Amino acid sequence: MAKPKITAELLRELPKTDLHVHLDGSLRPSTLIELACERKVKLPAMSEAGLYKKVFKESYRDLPEYLQGFAYTTAVLRDAEAIEQVSYELCRDAQAEGVRYMEIRFAPQLCTHDGFDVLDVLKATARGIERAEKEYNRKPAIRSGAEPAFRAGIVVCAMRFFTEGFSPTYAEMLAALADLPREQVYGIASEAVVRSAIKARDELGLPVVGIDLAGPERGYPAATHKRAYELAHAAFLGKTVHAGEDYGPESIFQAITDCRADRIGHGTWLFQASRIEDRSIRDRRSYVERLARFVADRRITLEVCLTSNLQTLPVLNELRKHPFRKMLQERLSVTLCTDNRLVSRTTVTAEYEKAVEAFKIGPGPLAHLLVYGFKRSFFPGSYREKRAYVRQVLDFRDAVFARHGFSVA
Ligand SMILES: [Zn+2]
């Protein structure tokens, strides 16, 4: 009998997670055009092909160019209808490629204006998720328990940096706190966002499961947001931090120390001793080894976004140079994510296809890799429910592998 192969079809059918996906980076291009027309937002092109050519490219010069597209996507996400639609479509697109669990992240404070606050934004997002969950989960195989249901949660992003132009909420805050050092205002803004996240979960029953910190790392340390993360920790929200993306291992250390991060967004430069800038760290090699050991031992999960990293980090011009191979070798808890389905022009299945090919991942390691996302998710339910759900995912995963001629159980 011919040896079975890991095909795109198998990868699509396998149950997957996407724990790191930005709502405002993952619109359907057709929806962006439709919303822009209705809301009189001017785009650089009004056709999908034009948008792909001018804004959402295959490759970018650097991170600033990558981020340009967000100016257009956030400009259309300013009302409940648009936000609900985009959140609903994101879930439907993920479902169509076998994603069973997703955590949608974004900064709701960027969508607010007079009479439309953070809680309104989160309500609209949750409505989109709920509608997509209901539609998908009425499949007979899910109702009979043969397949795991689709579930999704919201991760609210605080920002390392912002200006008046980011949103009216931020403009008001900067005006009111003009006497304080900027850094302190960033910290206060994060506390406000975390309070809203807690309120959304506890008073409105919305599926807000965690918080994140986004924005440039260099010059904007995670330590500024320590108090905000303490609030989240005290409320038992999940904690993730974008770190080690365009800055070195110390940034990851800060995220897990000052912010007690359960997961790290990217963590690309975890092993890169040469990127350490803190002069008090004398033995860089052993610092990095100990840090990696700590991250591995505590099962702090790295949310790895391969395509996005290749697009924003010019030094990674080839996938084989990405430290993902070392992350696997060192037995770290890692999960593949899209970051931005539109801006990075990718899907979870495509991320797996690339990883399997570039890093020669066999069926056994692939089976393990698929599970980390489910196990380390901020699942919105009790621990017993989460365990039962993960069990169901494992059984379904093995059944899909078996259907394709593999035995991984
Ligand atoms: Zn991200």
Q: What percent of the chain lies above the pLDDT cut of 90? A: 87
Domain assignment present for residue 1? The answer is no
Q: What is the model's pLDDT at position 293?
A: 96
Sign of the Cα torsion 226, 333, 374, 349 reads positive
Give the span between the Cα atoms of 393 and 370, in whole angstroms. 10
Q: Which of 103, 217, 245, 250 is catalytic?
A: 245
Using the mean position of ligand 1's atoms as its centre, give its distance from the Cα of residue 19 in Å.
10
Q: What is the model's pLDDT at position 1?
A: 62
**Does residue 408 surpass a pLDDT of 90?**
no
The tokens for 281 are 């760290």
Domain assignment present for residue 409? The answer is no
> What residue numbers bound the domain in which 354 lies?
8-403
Using the mean position of ligand 1's atoms as its centre, give its distance from the Cα of residue 282 in Å.
31
Backbone angles phi, psi at 19, to 5 degrees: -90, -5
Using the mean position of ligand 1's atoms as its centre, give its distance from the Cα of residue 214 in Å.
7
CB 90 within 8 A of CB 32: no
**Does residue 409 surpass a pLDDT of 70?**
no
Give the span between the Cα atoms of 161 and 214, in whole angstroms. 8
Who wins on pLDDT, 4 or 306? 306
User: pTM for this structure?
Assistant: 0.97
Active site residue 245: yes
CATH at residue 308: 3.20.20.140
**Does residue 2 surpass a pLDDT of 80?**
no
Give the span between the Cα atoms of 38 and 258, in whole angstroms. 44
Report pLDDT digits (tens) over 214-249: 998 888 999 999 999 999 999 999 999 999 887 889
Residue type, 105: R
Using the mean position of ligand 1's atoms as its centre, give its distance from the Cα of residue 352 in Å.
18
Give the number of domains in the chain.
1
Using the mean position of ligand 1's atoms as its centre, give its distance from the Cα of residue 92 in Å.
20
Using the mean position of ligand 1's atoms as its centre, give its distance from the Cα of residue 242 in Å.
7
Domain assignment present for residue 408? The answer is no
Residue with token string 């149950």: 15
Q: What is the model's pLDDT at position 314?
A: 80
Using the mean position of ligand 1's atoms as its centre, give its distance from the Cα of residue 105 in Å.
8
Domain assignment present for residue 395? The answer is yes
SS3 (DSSP) at 288: helix
Residue type, 227: R
Domain assignment present for residue 2? The answer is no
Domain assignment present for residue 356? The answer is yes
Give the span between the Cα atoms of 138 and 128, in whole angstroms. 16
Using the mean position of ligand 1's atoms as its centre, give its distance from the Cα of residue 296 in Å.
21
Backbone angles phi, psi at 334, to 5 degrees: -130, 150
Domain assignment present for residue 76? The answer is yes
CB 119 within 8 A of CB 68: no
